[in-house]
C-alpha cells in the first residue's frame, strides 16, 4: 500500500523510510518563519472549510491545526463547518471558492477517495481535478470490535463463527458508503463472509452505542469513536487496521497479522481550489510541515486517538489520493454500493 510520511516516525512509533523527506523537511523548517520563505501571501484572514458538523473527527482535527497554521502564516484562520451529503456540500463549496489560497479545504478519505465512487454523477465534481493538493495532516486508525457476548476471541474465530451462520449476523457502520462500511465490505470480500449490514445515518456515534448495547454484534470504527469502550471492556477489540500494532493496545493484532490483506486508516489533508498559484500552494504546504510535527499537536491529537501524518510535497499527497481513490473504487464496484 502507498504509505506517506508520518510524524510518528519522529516520535519513534512508526516510520516510512521511502517517504522520510517529510520528516526531514519538518525538522529543517520548524524554527524558520514561513513568512521568510515566499511572497507576501497571506495578507488577510483565511478560512478552513470542514465538510462535517462541529464535534466530529474532522472538526476535532481542524480545531487543533487551524491555530497552529494561523501562527505559522501570520493570519487568522476561521473554521467554517458546512455539513451535508456525506461531506459533499462542504467539498463542492470549497472547490468553487476563489483559487487564491484564502480558502482551504479539510478533506478526508471519505470525501476525496470514496464519495466520488459511491455517489457517482450525483456528486457533479471530481475532487482529483477540482482541487490542488496541499498536504496530509492526520490519520486515525480503525478497529474491529465485537460485543462481549459474542463467543470469539480472535479474527479467526470470528470468521469461523460468521461462516457457520451465513446471513444471520450483522455489523453496524457509520452509514452506507462510509469508511466503516467499505472496510467491512473489504473484509467480507477477502474472507467470503455473508453478513448483514446495518447502516446508521447518524454516523459512528449511534452505531457504536447500539453495539455496546448488544443490538448489533460487530463493528469496525475509527479508534476515536471506540477507544473508551475498548479500554473498559464494553467492546472486545479483535484487530486494528494499521500496518503495525498500536502502543495503546499492544495485545491487539493487525488484520494483516491474521491473514487479511487490509491496511487502511482514516486520513485527512488540506487542499485548495484548482488554479491556486503554485507558490501559494508551496507556502501552505511549508506551514503544515513546519507547524504540525511538534509535541503540542501530537499530544492534542492523542486525546482523539489521532496521529500527525505528513507528505513530503503537494505532489506526494496528490499521488496518495489517486492511489486511495483507485483502491476504494474497486471495493465500491465489487460491493455494488451506490448512493443518490
CATH at residue 193 = 3.40.190.10
**Does residue 320 form part of some domain?**
yes
Exposed/middle/buried for residue 306 (C-beta within 10 Å: 0-12, 13-18, 19+): buried
Could you give the CA distance from residue 327 to residue 322 in angstroms, rounded to a whole number? Answer: 9
Predicted confidence (pLDDT) at residue 17 exceeds the cutoff of 50: no
Residues 128 and 206 in one domain: no
Could you give the CA distance from residue 40 to residue 112 in angstroms, rounded to a whole number? Answer: 30
Could you give the CA distance from residue 327 to residue 161 in angstroms, rounded to a whole number? Answer: 28
Residue 35 confidence (pLDDT): 40
Could you give the CA distance from residue 15 to residue 126 in angstroms, rounded to a whole number? Answer: 32
**Does residue 10 form part of some domain?**
no
Predicted confidence (pLDDT) at residue 295 exceeds the cutoff of 60: yes
Residues 208 and 94 in one domain: no
Residues 201 and 135 in one domain: no
pLDDT tens digits for range 230-242: 999 999 999 999 9
Cell readout for 164 is 457457520
Cell readout for 17 is 523510510
Predicted confidence (pLDDT) at residue 208 exceeds the cutoff of 90: yes
**Does residue 51 form part of some domain?**
yes
Cell readout for 296 is 503540542
Question: Which sign, positive or negative, has the C-alpha torsion 225, 249, 321, 296?
Answer: positive
Residues 185 and 232 in one domain: yes
Under the banding of pLDDT at 50, 70 and 90, the label for residue 4 is: low
* Element of type H or E holding 270: strand 265-273
CATH at residue 87 = 3.40.190.150
Exposed/middle/buried for residue 129 (C-beta within 10 Å: 0-12, 13-18, 19+): exposed
**Does residue 5 form part of some domain?**
no
Predicted confidence (pLDDT) at residue 320 exceeds the cutoff of 60: yes
**Does residue 108 form part of some domain?**
yes
Residue 33 confidence (pLDDT): 43
pTM of the model: 0.84
Least confident residue range of 16-20, 115-119, 290-294: 16-20
Residue 14 confidence (pLDDT): 33
Residues 36 and 102 in one domain: yes
**Does residue 280 form part of some domain?**
yes
Specify the 3-state DSSP secondary structure of 267.
Answer: strand
Residue 39 confidence (pLDDT): 56
The packing angle between helices 57-73 and 223-232, to 10°, is 120
Specify the 3-state DSSP secondary structure of 96.
Answer: coil
Residue 109 confidence (pLDDT): 96
Under the banding of pLDDT at 50, 70 and 90, the label for residue 205 is: confident
Residues 130 and 272 in one domain: yes
Closest to 181 (Cα-Cα) out of 61, 264, 248:
264
Under the banding of pLDDT at 50, 70 and 90, the label for residue 164 is: very high
Residue 291 confidence (pLDDT): 96
Under the banding of pLDDT at 50, 70 and 90, the label for residue 202 is: low
First and final CA of the chain: distance in angstroms? Answer: 30
Query: In degrees rounded to 5, what are phi and psi of residue 30?
Result: -60, -25
Q: What is the number of structural domains in the chain?
A: 2
Q: Quickly count: other Cβ atoms within 10 Å of residue 202's Cβ.
A: 10
- Compute CA 292 distance to the chain's CA centroid, rounded to the nearest angstrom: 16
Distances (CA, A) of 337 to 31, 192, 202, 323: 47, 17, 19, 19
Judge whether 78 and 45 are in contact, CB under 8 Å: yes
Cross-strand partners of 173: 199
Please name the residue ranges forming H helices in 80-154. 88-95, 109, 115-118, 127-130
Percent of the chain with pLDDT over 90: 76
Residues 130 and 147 in one domain: no
Under the banding of pLDDT at 50, 70 and 90, the label for residue 12 is: very low
Average model confidence (pLDDT) for the chain?
88
**Does residue 8 form part of some domain?**
no
Query: In degrees rounded to 5, what are phi and psi of residue 49?
Result: -85, 120
**Domain of residue 241, residue span:** 142-258
Pairing of strands 307-308, 77-81: unpaired
Query: In degrees rounded to 5, what are phi and psi of residue 312?
Result: -70, -20
Exposed/middle/buried for residue 167 (C-beta within 10 Å: 0-12, 13-18, 19+): exposed
Residue 10 confidence (pLDDT): 26
Residue 201 confidence (pLDDT): 80
Closest to 187 (Cα-Cα) out of 162, 215, 217:
162
pLDDT tens digits for range 88-132: 999 999 999 999 999 999 999 999 999 999 998 889 899 999 999
Residues 250 and 309 in one domain: no
Residues 152 and 170 in one domain: yes
Query: In degrees rounded to 5, what are phi and psi of residue 222?
Result: -65, 145
Residues 82 and 70 in one domain: yes
**Does residue 4 form part of some domain?**
no
Could you give the CA distance from residue 104 to residue 111 in angstroms, rounded to a whole number? Answer: 14
Amino acid at each position: 500500500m502507498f504509505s506517506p510520511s508520518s510524524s510518528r516516525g519522529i516520535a519513534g512509533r512508526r516510520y516510512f523510510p521511502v517517504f522520510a523527506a517529510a520528516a526531514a523537511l519538518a525538522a529543517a523548517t520548524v524554527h524558520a518563519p514561513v513568512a521568510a520563505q515566499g511572497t507576501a501571501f497571506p495578507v488577510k484572514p483565511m478560512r478552513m472549510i470542514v465538510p462535517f458538523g462541529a464535534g466530529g473527527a474532522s472538526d476535532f482535527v481542524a480545531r487543533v491545526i487551524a491555530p497552529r497554521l494561523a501562527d505559522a502564516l501570520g493570519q487568522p484562520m476561521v473554521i467554517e463547518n458546512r455539513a451535508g451529503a456525506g461531506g459533499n456540500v462542504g467539498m463542492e463549496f470549497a472547490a468553487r471558492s476563489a483559487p487564491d489560497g484564502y480558502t482551504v479545504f479539510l478533506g478526508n478519505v471519505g470525501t476525496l477517495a470514496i464519495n466520488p465512487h459511491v455517489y457517482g454523477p450525483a456528486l457533479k465534481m471530481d475532487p482529483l481535478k477540482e482541487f490542488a493538493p496541499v498536504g496530509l495532516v492526520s490519520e486515525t486508525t480503525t478497529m474491529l470490535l465485537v460485543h462481549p457476548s459474542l463467543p470469539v476471541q480472535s479474527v479467526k474465530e470470528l470468521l469461523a463463527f460468521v461462516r457457520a451462520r451465513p446471513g444471520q449476523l450483522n455489523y453496524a457502520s457509520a452509514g452506507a458508503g462510509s469508511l466503516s462500511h467499505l472496510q467491512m465490505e473489504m473484509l467480507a470480500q477477502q474472507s467470503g463472509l455473508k453478513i448483514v449490514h446495518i447502516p446508521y445515518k447518524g454516523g459512528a456515534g449511534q452505531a457504536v452505542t447500539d453495539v455496546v448495547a448488544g443490538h448489533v454484534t460487530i463493528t469496525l470504527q475509527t479508534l476515536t469513536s471506540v477507544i473508551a469502550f475498548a479500554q473498559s471492556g464494553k467492546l472486545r477489540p479483535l484487530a486494528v487496521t494499521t500496518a503495525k500494532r498500536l502502543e495503546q493496545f499492544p495485545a491487539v493484532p493487525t488484520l494483516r497479522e491474521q491473514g487479511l490483506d487490509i491496511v487502511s486508516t482514516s486520513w485527512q489533508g488540506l487542499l485548495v481550489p484548482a488554479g491556486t498559484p503554485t507558490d501559494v500552494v508551496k507556502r501552505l504546504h511549508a506551514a503544515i510541515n513546519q507547524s504540525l510535527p511538534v509535541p503540542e499537536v501530537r499530544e492534542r491529537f492523542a486525546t482523539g486517538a489521532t496521529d500527525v501524518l505528513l507528505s513530503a510535497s503537494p505532489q506526494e499527497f496528490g499521488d496518495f489520493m489517486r492511489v486511495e481513490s483507485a483502491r476504494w473504487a474497486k471495493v465500491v464496484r465489487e460491493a455494488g454500493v451506490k448512493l443518490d
